[in-house]
Chain A
Amino acid sequence: MLNTYAYPEFEYIQCDEQKHNTVKRHKAVIIGAGPVGLTTALDFAKQGIPVVVLDDNNTVSIGSRAVCYAKRPLEVWDRLGVGERMIEKSVEWKVGKVFRDEELVYQFDLLPEDDHKIPAFINLQQYYLEEYMIDECKKQYGDLIDFRWKSKIISLKNNDDHVKMQVETPDGVYGLESDYVVACDGANSDTRKMLGLEFDGHFFQDRFLIADVVMKADFPAERWFWFNPPFHRNQSVLLHMQSDDVWRIDFQLGWDCDPEEEKKPEKVIPRLKAMLGDDVDFELEWVSVYQFACRQLKDFKCGRVFIAGDAAHQVSPFGARGANTGVQDIDNLTWKLKLVMDGKVPESLLDSYSEERVFAAADNLLNSTRSTDFITPKSPISKAFRDAVLDLASEYEFARPLVNSGRLSMPTPYLNSSLNTPDEDTFSGKMRPGTNCADAPITVDGQDTWFLNKIANSKFVVLTFDTSITDKTVNINGIDCDILVVGKDIMDSKGCLQERYDGTGETTYLIRPDQHVAARWRTFDQDKIKKAVLTATAQ
């Protein structure tokens, strides 16, 4: 195998607690330093919460696992200061093509709306993503983030006011305590097993060969998906471009294959040659075979432990919903935990993490299961309908939207959340309570910037189009909210804010620290804002 990437090795250092045989109570412990755990570390540290990060390894993810990152998680990473570096290194794409045999049956263009800072989708190897986040952790928050490599959690117990854990390191086992724990330890989460939590859902009776291939190829930066191609009969194949001339190719293998056998280069290379032709030089960077599941926990909070990312929910890879959803879990959790830690709101606010993210995971799971049913039909009649759709799609436009090779990850609005204040006025546009805020180009003090960058300091924001408002902040029961007046504090340089937020007259929005709409009105009314802040914080 060829490596285009040099894996960093992080130094294991015995922690003081283990060295001196003392038990220390921490504010927050994060289990797992993957994309979700590292996002948690950055977000907590940004809000001033010191964290311990435990990881049983001492490098970034081996092999490229997650590849596609969607707009919303990139906006979260941009809020955390790492988004731009990821985008710069990545491959941006927006066109997807679906082939059957050799014929193009359907093509979609994500057609991203203009005037957003963040692109619709990027492709980037997971190891870069992790490396950039670890760099940022060390650069910005060296004193707040305590990385403990080669530290494996071996027991965990919820108590009334803390969580007790035992951790195994090269120096043996030590104990530590924490007010709260965030379990980001992936699909095979040990933490989940220690808590005795069971999944709802199932594995699919199918396997996929995932190959990362290094080659100079003429394929464009598009997502190509084949049903039943001549080079891989009766199965599907997916091709994606990554950085550094690395390409991700997924071969559907069916249920009867031998996964160990399929991983061997002598099996993989002929498959790739059949696809790419004999005259393309390529090298394998990474090969794995996996079976995927669509399943989730009923509750993402168990006592003082929050379960996030793949540890809490798993979906098929068609649609880029894994890491993307996990990052949004953390976006949802951090501000709530910060307010609770600061004693400003009741602990019951933390229950809304589970409420909102279980809802989002269920929506994701539904989308993912539907794609899987199309790609891997479970019965002969299901396959007949799938093939009928593909038959009709090349000739008849109506069948094209039925082709489902993965619906790409979009954030799930928390439309029924208990934290929302229902609309009492009529609005047009998408910014309903519970929805993540749309970006817009703005100017502040004559400088061009972006709306989401302006509301990135993890505080409640009152956004108002009422230019008679002169207050800069409002304090509601100890919760500081920034007031942003469109036309004074921020200039709506291209009119996008007005359009996207239906910002006529004195329209006013209450925006949560995670950049989601909590409430909106046609007037600026202090009493209503106060009530909505209390509702949005479970008071």
Chain B
Amino acid sequence: MVLPASTIAVLLITMVALWGVGGWALVRSLGDEERKLELLERQETFDTYSPRVLSELREWINSHPDHPRVDDATTAYNDCVDRLTRIEETFYDWDETTVDDLERL
């Protein structure tokens, strides 16, 4: 029996969307964990946010000064900035210029 093209297409889409992406997620997650542990062992800490998230967090803090949890957000932001200035190697993809330009809030 020959399978119709539409059947093969659905089978392939399903396999890629589940096994492909699921396998990628597993490998990525395990790889990232290994890297985090290496960084923790070597420098006791690592950056908690990516450049994109830290930028969004700064925007959010600036635009919600009266939010009841703004202090916690600011603490989290400053903690990441402090870590970035302390560590030699970052977990996320930070470039030196961006890190140098960062300031505590």
Does B associate with A? no
Q: CB within 8 Å of A: which residues of B?
A: none
